[in-house]
Amino acid sequence: MKLLVSPMSIEEAKATINGGADIVDVKNPKEGSLGANFPWVIKSIVDLADGKKLVSAAIGDFDYKPGTASLAALGAATSGANYIKIGLLGIKTPEEAEEMLKNVVRSVKDFNEDVKLVAAAYADYERAGSLAPMDLPSVAQKCGVDVIMVDTAVKDGKTAFEFMDENQLIEFVSAGQERKMEVALAGNLGFGDLKTLKRIDPDIIGIRGAVCGGDRKAKIKEELVKQMKADLS
């Protein structure tokens, strides 16, 4: 499993890189689960990674706005990100998801076909009023998405495991991998979840709070990134 860690500043990005994370995921938690950071922050972290680490950039938790999302995705791609992550927070049907994703994928791939598009649904989709995670794999495959992801929409300390059990997450991972996509899991995951995550076996796990000492609003600590990476081995 690849370890994705989500810094929100250059200082945190240094701790993430020095700690050995596989993917540096640039976002801004102040703007939501997959809140977007500024283009110059993305570019600065891409420059800092210097090709030695993959860089992901979140572009937001979106309502049904295919044009706005496509422009945001292109902006992140031109800033140098290897992965572009979009959250389908305000998307309620597979039809809306398809219209969003096919256009976002086109905007990214027309610029650089090597950039990967990550589409995220939410384990707590019922309380968020958004697309069910199991509706995502088939739509994402149809649209040319490279990675599908489960996160949590509401950051209130509850984990993805409180909304989807191990078997449901295994089903989600299998559905993506069978369709030749990578699968990522996130949602307030911690050190205590690693044993279960190894059984579920996603391609990528996304972390922030756990490597901030338990508070996602605190700063990422290099030593905790190192510990997380070691515990995943």
Q: Let me know if 226 is a catalytic residue.
A: no
Alpha-carbon gap, residue 80 to 82, rounded angstroms: 7
Q: Helix (H, G, I), strand (E, B), or coil: what is residue 120?
A: strand
Q: Let me know if 27 is a catalytic residue.
A: yes
H-helix segments, the chain: 10-18, 39-49, 66-78, 94-111, 125-128, 136-143, 166-178, 194-200, 222-232
Alpha-carbon gap, residue 161 to 193, rounded angstroms: 9
Question: Which of the following is catalytic: 30, 43, 65, 85?
Answer: 85
Question: Which of the following is catalytic: 2, 27, 116, 221?
Answer: 27
How big is the chain by its Cα radius of gyration, in Å? 16
Active-site residues, by number, are 27, 85
